[in-house]
Structure 1
Amino acid sequence: MASPHHLKFDGVSFTYPGSLRRVLTDITFAVPSEHVTGLIGENGAGKSTLLHLVAGVLEPDVGDITTPPVTGFIEQETQLPLSSPASALIDAAVSELRDIEKQIGDISARLADEPDLADAFDAALAMAEQTGVWELDARIASVLAGLGLAKVPLETRLGDMSGGQRRRFALAALLLRPVDAMVLDEPTNHLDDEGVDFLINELKEFRGPVLVASHDRFFLDKAADSLVDLDPGLGHEGGTGEGTRQGTLFTGSFTDYLQSREDIRRRWEELYVAQEHERSRLEKASDQGESDIFHREVSKSESRISDKFYADRAAKTLGNRLRSARNRLEALERDELPPPPARLTFHGIPEHTTLASLGEPAVVARDLWVGDRLGPLTVTVQPGEHWLVEGPNGAGKSTFLKAVEGKMQITEGLLRIPEEVSIARLSQDDEWIDLDTPAEEIFAAKVPPKSPTLVEMGLMDAETAARPLGELSLGQRRRVSLGVILASPPDILLLDEPTNHLSLALAEELEEALEEFPGTVLLATHDRWIRRRWAVRTSGRGKILSLPGRRDD
C-alpha cells in the first residue's frame, strides 16, 4: 500500500468524452515525500490532463491515483473570484491555521474551570508549533515578498490586477495553505528571477511530494529530482498507441534528461532498423519453396530407394525451415516494435528580406516614458540586431514592446521607427475567441495568401491542426499564435515571453531559428535558460537591455 505521503499513479488511462483520441495510456509512476518530480512532454501530450486527474477535476477511465489527505493544486489558468480583494484569497488560505490559534484561545479561557481540557490544550499547542501558527504573519509577508507582491495592497480587487499578479497571488495562497502534497501547472510563468529562486527554495523545503508540469528549463534543472516525460514520440519505452504504456521516468537533472532522451531515441531507431531487417529475411525464408532450399541432381546410377531417401530428407528439411521461419515471423509480428513516430520539428522562420539597407535605426528611444510603467529609457536598435529585454516584474518589458508595436501611447520623450518597416508581436498571453473553429482555419484567416501552413511549418501535425482550437492545450494554442506572426516574418519581431507554454523541444528549435533570422528581434523574457546562452546563440548580434524596476507589477 502506498504511503499517505506519496503521489502514486497505477495504470491510469484517460480519453475525453466524445473523443476517439486517447490522451493518456497506462501511466504508472510514484512521487515520494520530499521529492519534486517534473512532468514534461510535447504540447498536447496530456500534462495538464494528468494534473486535473490528480486534482479530482477529471476521473480516469481505468487505473488508480493515490494522493495524500490534502493535496494543493494550482492550474495554468487560475479561476479566481475577480470581485474579491487579495486579502480574501490569503485569509482563505490560512483559515485553518487561524482556527488553531482561535482554538487555543478558546480552550485557554475554559481551562481553569475545565481541567480535563488539558490534553486538548497540549494537542492544540503542538499543532500550532508544528504548523508555524505563531509565525504566520511573518510567513505571509515572506511569501508575498518572495513572489514580488509586497507592494501590492491586499485590498486590491483581483479583477483590477494584471494576469501575472493574479497568478502569483494564487501561488502565494497555495504556499501558505497547510497541505500534504502540491501539484502545480506551469508555476514559473509570470515569475522573475527572484520569484523563481524563492519557489525553488520553497519546494525543496516542503516535506511532502510535489508534482509540477513545467516548460521552464532552468527551473527543472534546479528544482526537480526526477522527470516524467509523457511524450509518445520519446521512444518505445514511452509508448506509442492503444494498450502501450506511456510515460518514461528519468532521474537526475534536466541536463541529464536531455542526454538520456537522445540515447533512448537512438536505441529505439537502431532496434527498429534491426527488426525490419529480420522481418525481411524471415518473410523471404517463409516464401521459399522446395527448389529454393534443396538443390540436388540425383545421379542416374542411383537406385529408386536412394531417390526416395533424398526426396524425404528434402521435404523434412524444407518443412522444418519453413515452420521455423514462419513461427519466428509470427512472434516478431506479435511483439513488434512500432516505428519511431516522426518528430514534430519546427522548420524555422521562412525566408525574409530585411530593410537594413534603409540606412537608419530600426528603433530609437530617447528619454522615453510610458506613464508610470516605463522610463526613462534611451536605446538605439539597429536593423538586424537581436535584443534581449530583461528585468524584474514591473520593469516595463511588455510595455516597451507594446509601445514599439504602437499599441501603447508614450507620455514623454521620443520613440522613432521607420514607417516602411513591418512589425509583429507575440503577446505574453494568448487571447482567442473562435474556440469552436479548427486551428488550421483560424491560422489561414490571419496570414497572407500562399503562406506556409501550420503543418508545413512543423508546428502541428495534420490531425491536431484540424481540431477545434478549444480542444487544444495552451501550448498548442501558443503554437498557432507563433505561426501567425512567423508565417510572413516582419522586419521587427517582438516576442514577449515566447517560451511560455511551449514544449521544451520547440523552445530549443525556436532559439536556433532566431539565431538565423536576419530581421530585428526584441525578446522580453524571464527564461534564464535563454538569457544565459543569449550572446553565444545570436552569433555576436545579441544585445541586452536591462530595465530596472519594481517587483510589484
Structure 2
Amino acid sequence: MASPHHLKLDGVSFTYPGSVRRVLTDITFAVPSDHVTGLIGENGSGKSTLLQLIAGSLEPDVGVITTPPTTGFIEQETQLPFSSPAAALIDAAVAELRDVEKQIGELSALMGEDPDRYAEAFDAALAMAEQAGVWELDSRIATVLAGLGLANVPLETRLGDMSGGQRRRFALAALLLRPVDAMVLDEPTNHLDDDGVDFLIRELAEFSGPVLVASHDRFFLDQAADSLVDLDPGLGHEGGGGEDTRQGTVFTGSFTDYLESREDIRRRWEELYTVQEHERARLEKAAEQTAEDVFHKQTSKSESRISDKFYADRAAKTVGNRLRSARNRLEALERGELPKPPARLRFHGIPEHTSASLGEPAVYAKDIWVGDRLGPLTIKINPGEHWLIEGPNGAGKSTFLKVVEGKWEITEGELRIPEEVVIGRLSQDDEWIDLGKTAEEIFADHVPAGSPTLVDMGLMNEETAARPLGELSLGQRRRVSLGVILASPPDILLLDEPTNHLSLALAEELEEALSTFPGTVLMATHDRWIRRRWAVRTDGRGKVLSLPGRRDD
C-alpha cells in the first residue's frame, strides 16, 4: 500500500549570508508517493544546498518546504564515533523495529493476564510488525549488506578502520533498513559497483514513499527515476527569454526522455532565436527608412505647389509613423531579448596531419609492467582508434594513461610512441595552480592565439568566465580544462573519468563531440552509461581494453 505522503517545495530561494550571488531561485516541484525524482545539475548549481534546506540544516530566504513526518537522509558521515563498530550503526537503524518486536512480546505476556484490555494494542503492534517485516529483519539486514557489497565486512569492524567508501555504503544500508516515510539521497551510487547500483534501483522501486535523489549517474537515473529536476542555469531562457532566472525545470520520464526533451527545447530555442534575429534585422532596416525608401519616387514636376506640399506632408507623416512603430517594436524586442543559444561542443583547430599519416601504431606496448601497479600488458593502438579502458579500482587504468602521457616510466617490457605525436590529457584532478586568475585568463594562457573563448564555445557565460578560478566549483573548473582540450586537440587524447563533475547535458555533448574526433582516444571510466553506449558503437573505431583488478591506482 502506497504512502500518502508527498515531498513539496514551493517558491524556494536561498542566498548564503554575506554573499551577493543567489544560489537557488524560485524552486518549485513535488515528489509524490511511490515516485523517484532525480535532482541533477553540475557542481555549483545548488543541489547540495537544496538537500540541506530539505533536511532543515538551512532555512530558505523565501518559500515553503513540506516533508513527510519521517524523512530519511543519507549522511556523508555517520554521527557515531569512529570507535563504534558497524553493528552499532545497523542496530541504531533497526532499533524502532526491534522495539516493535519487543513490544509484541510484552503485550503477549499481558494478554495472558487480561486479554480484553490488551487485545487491541496487541493487534495493532502485530499489524505494524507484519507491515514492517519485523519477523524477517535478520534476513533483511543480510540481504541489504550483501546487496551493497558489505557481506564480507565483519560487523565488529570499527567505523574508523573502514575506507570512506565502506562507511558510505554502511550509511546507505542503514537508511534502507530504517522505517521512513520518504528518502532523500545525495549521490548514493558513489562507491557502488554495478551489482550494488542494480540492487539500489530495485530497492527504490519497491519503496512506497517519495524519493528525491541527487546524482550524476546517468545509468542509475535512467533506470530508477520517473522524473528529473534540472538545476543547471540556462533552461529558464530556452523557451522564452527575457530576465527569467527561475531554476528547477521539471522533466517527466526517464533520463533518456530527459535527453529528448532537452534536445527539443534546444532546437526550439535555436529556431526562435533565428526568427528573432531576422525580425531584428528587418526592424533595424525599417527604423532607418526615409521618405524616398517609402515612396520610391519624387512628386512629378508638373504638379502644383499645393500638390507637392500635400505629398510631402503625407510622406513625412507616413515615415514618422513607420519609424516610431519600428523603433518601438525594436525596443520591445530588445527588452525581452532571447539570448543566443550556447554553442554545441566541438573540437577546434584539428591538425591537418595526425599520427595516421605516420604509417605506424599510435601506441605499441609489449609485455609492459609498471611495478606492481600494471602488467603484463600487450596492446597495439592504431591511429584514429577510440579505446575504452575499463576495470575495477586498482586495475591500472590511470597508470596506463600516465605511461602513455610520459608521466610514468615502465619497469619492464617495450613501449613505442612516435616522437611526432602530440599527446594531451584531461585528468581527474584539477591541475591549475594560479587560482587567482580568472577562468578566461587561465584558458587564454593555454590555447593558441585566435582560439574561440570559453563563452564562444558554450562552456561558460561571461559572468562566470570573468570570475577567479578559486571561486568556481569543480565542475566549472573542469569546463576550463575541457575548453583547452577542445580548442587545441592533440593527436592522442587521454581522458580519465571525463564526465566527473560535468553536468549531465554537457557530458552528453562531450560524448557527441568525441564521436567525430578524428584523432586517437584512450578513455578510462567507470561510467556505466558510457560503457553501455560503447558496446553498441557502429563506427568500427570503438575498442575495449579490460584490465583485471589489482590494487588502487
Q: CA deviation at 1:83?
A: 4.3
- The change in CA–CA distance for 1:468 and 1:314 in structure 2 (over 3 A counts) is closer
Between stretches 466-475 and 60-69, larger displacement belongs to: 466-475
Q: Is the 8 A contact 2:187 2:213 kept in 1?
A: yes
1:194 shift after superposition: 1.3
Indicate if the aligned counterparts of 2:144 and 2:173 stay in contact, CA closer than 8 A.
yes
Q: Does 1:123 align with 2:124?
A: yes
Tell me, yes or no, if the aligned pair for 1:387 and 1:521 is still in contact at 8 Å. yes
* Residue correspondence of structure 1 range 269-308 to structure 2 within 5 A: 269-282=270-283, 285=286, 297=299
**Aligned match of 1:29:** 29
Change (3 A) 1:298 1:417: closer
- Amino acid aligned to 1:8: K
What residue in structure 2 maps to residue 206 of structure 1?
207
Q: Tell me the TM-score normalised to structure 2 length.
A: 0.76
Residue 532 of structure 1 pairs with residue 535 of structure 2? no
8 A contact 1:226–1:253 mirrored in 2: yes
Q: Which amino acid aligns with 1:380?
A: I
Paired amino acid for 2:251: F
1:69 touches 1:180 (CA, 8 Å); kept in 2? yes
Structure 1: state its 5+ residue gaps: none
Q: How far off is 1:45 after superposition?
A: 3.0
Which amino acid in the other structure matches residue 379 of structure 2? T
**Rounded Cα–Cα distance in structure 1 between residues aligned with 2:413 and 2:83:** 37
Rate the CA distance shift 1:469–1:275 in 2: closer, same or farther, 3 A.
closer
Distance 1:135 1:111 in 2: 24
Residue 298 of structure 1 and its aligned partner are, at CA, apart by: 8.9
* TM alignment of 1:239-388, pairs within 5 A: 243-282=244-283, 285=286, 297=299, 325=326, 328-329=329-330, 331-333=332-334, 336-343=336-343, 345=345, 347=347, 362-365=364-367, 370=372, 378-380=377-379, 382=381, 386-388=386-388
1:189 matched residue in structure 2: 190
Deviation at 1:297, TM superposition (A): 4.2
Q: Is the 8 A contact 1:454 1:480 kept in 2?
A: no
- Work out the CA distance in 1 between the residues paired with 2:426 and 2:251: 33
1:220 alignment counterpart: 221
How far the C-alpha of 1:317 sits from its partner, in A, is: 5.7
Q: Write the distance in 2 (CA, Å) between the matches of 1:170 and 1:525.
A: 25
Q: d(CA) in 1 for partners of 2:515 and 2:265?
A: 28
Q: Does 1:16 align with 2:16?
A: yes
* Residue of structure 2 in register with 1:5 after alignment: 5
- Cα offsets for 1:351-391 (capped at 9, x unmatched): 697698898964444799949xx8x8654354756543334
Give the alignment's Cα RMSD to 1 decimal.
5.0
- Contact 2:497-2:525 at 8 Å conserved across structures: yes
Question: For 1:127, what is the secondary structure of its paired residue?
Answer: helix
Q: Compare 134-143 and 531-540 and name the one that shifted more.
A: 531-540
Deviation, structure 1 residue 462? 5.8
The code of the aligned residue for 1:30 comes to A
Say which SS state the counterpart of residue 33 (structure 2) adopts.
coil
Aligned partner of 1:91 in structure 2 is 91
Could you tell me how far 1:209 is from its partner in structure 2? 1.7
User: Amino acid of the residue matched to residue 47 of structure 1?
Assistant: K
Q: What SS does the aligned partner of 1:196 have?
A: helix
Other-structure match for 1:145: 146
1:396 corresponds in structure 2 to: 395
Q: Could you say if the C-alpha distance between residues 85 and 271 of structure 1 is closer, same or farther in structure 2, counting changes exceeding 3 Å?
A: same
SS state at 1:118 partner: helix
Alpha-carbon spacing, 1:13–1:345, altered in 2? closer, same or farther (3 Å): farther
Write the distance in 2 (CA, Å) between the matches of 1:140 and 1:122: 25
The change in CA–CA distance for 1:404 and 1:73 in structure 2 (over 3 A counts) is farther
Work out whether residues 397 and 524 of structure 1, in 8 Å CA contact, stay in contact via their aligned partners in 2: no
State the alpha-carbon separation in 1 of the partners of residues 151 and 551 from structure 2.
8
Matched residue, 1:134: 135
Note the residue ranges of structure 2 that are not aligned, 5 or more in a row.
none
CA contact (8 A) 2:361 2:380 kept: no
Q: Is the 8 A contact 2:345 2:513 kept in 1?
A: no
**Match of 1:173, as an amino acid?**
A
Does the 8 Å CA contact 1:107/1:121 hold for their aligned counterparts? Answer: yes
Relative distance call for 1:447 and 1:314 in structure 2 (3 A) is: closer
CA contact (8 A) 1:186 1:212 kept: yes
Structure 1 window deviating more from structure 2 (507-516 vs 27-36): it is: 507-516
**Normalized against structure 1, the TM-score is what?**
0.76
Give 1:37 deviation, angstroms: 2.0
Amino acid at match of 1:527: D
What amino acid is aligned across from residue 233 of structure 1 in structure 2?
A: G
Deviation at 1:493, TM superposition (A): 6.7
Spell out the pairing of 1:476-487 with structure 2 (5 A cutoff). 476-479=476-479
Aligned-partner Cα distance in 2 for 1:463–1:485: 22
Residues in 2 aligned to 1:235 and 1:84: alpha-carbon distance in whole angstroms:
48
Between Structure 1 and Structure 2, how many residues are aligned? 541
1:468/1:288 Cα in 2 relative to 1: closer, same or farther (>3 Å)?
closer
d(CA) in 1 for partners of 2:319 and 2:447? 65
Partner of residue 101, structure 1: 101
User: Contact conserved, 2:299 with 2:311, CA < 8 A, in 1?
Assistant: no
Deviation at 1:130, TM superposition (A): 1.4
Offset of residue 453 of structure 1: 11
**DSSP-derived class of the 1:533 partner:** helix
Quick check: 2:5–2:209 contact (8 Å CA) kept in 1?
yes
Helix, strand or coil: the match of 1:22? Answer: coil
CA distance in 1, matches of 2:49, 2:13: 11
Indicate yes or no: 2:74 matched with 1:74: yes
Kindly report which structure 2 residues correspond to 1:415-454, keeping only aligned pairs within 5 A, or say none. 417=415, 430=429, 440=439
Deviations 1:57-113 (A, max 9, x none): 3332222222222222336x5576544433333233222222322333333344444
**C-alpha separation in 1, matches of 2:515 and 2:334:** 45
Equivalent residue for 1:155? 156
SS of the residue 1:178 aligns to: coil
Q: What SS class does the counterpart of residue 23 from structure 2 fall into?
A: strand
> Does structure 2 retain, via aligned residues, the 8 Å contact 1:390–1:397?
no
C-alpha contact (below 8 Å) 2:347/2:489 kept by paired residues: no
* SS of the residue 1:54 aligns to: helix
Structure 1 stretch displaced more, 324-333 or 291-300: 291-300
Q: Which moved more, 1:433-442 or 1:227-236?
A: 433-442
Kindly tell me: are residues 460 and 114 of structure 1, through their superposed partners in 2, closer, same or farther at Cα, counting changes over 3 Å?
Answer: farther
SS in 2 for 1:532: helix
CA 1:124–1:505: 2 relative to 1, 3 Å: same
Change (3 A) 1:425 1:181: farther
The 2-side partners of 1:42 and 1:310 are apart by 64
CA apart distance, 1:149: 1.9
Contact in 1 for aligned 2:494/2:523 (Cα 8 Å): yes
Query: Do the aligned residues in 2 keep the contact of 1:234 with 1:265 (CA within 8 Å)?
Result: no
